[in-house]
Amino acid sequence: MVMFASWLLLDPEIPGQKQSEQALDTLAGQGILGSLCVLLIVALFFTIKSLLKAKDDRFADQKLMTETLEKHNEAAKELAVEMNKAASNLVVESTKNMDAMKNTLSAQERSMDDLARVISGLQQEGMQLRVTAMNFKCSGSKG
């Protein structure tokens, strides 16, 4: 049992190692109950050691997760900036297109007004021609 307790404390330069070995030897010398206590102490030692390692691993995992989240946040920030730029460009282009369409529609409206005036003038000329022709027919048959 003493060899097992010595194996537990592997590093001979750990402060208090001699006292620990003596305490484990004393406990192991107390019989079955002492040996059981030594085994429980060893089990507790390994349990605590495992828990501390698990805690360190979780800290490392948390640090890695934090770094990953920072990278994701940076990427999301860059994406938001690019989306804002794209949206701004889209608004500018839409405004240009709307202005061009407004100008085109205004020109088309002026052309339609001009066409309506020309058609109206042609209708009036046609009416005058008909009236003149009717007058010509009427004056030609009397004479």
Number of domains present in the structure of the chain: 1
- Residues 6 or more apart whose CB falls under 8 angstroms from that of 4 comprise 38, 42
Domain assignment of residue 21, yes or no: no
Q: Give the domain extent around 64.
A: 31-142
Domain assignment of residue 17, yes or no: no
pTM of the model: 0.47
Domain assignment of residue 84, yes or no: yes
Domain assignment of residue 42, yes or no: yes
pLDDT along the chain (143 residues), means of 10: 46 66 75 79 90 95 96 97 96 96 96 95 93 84 52
Domain assignment of residue 41, yes or no: yes
What pLDDT is attached to residue 3?
46
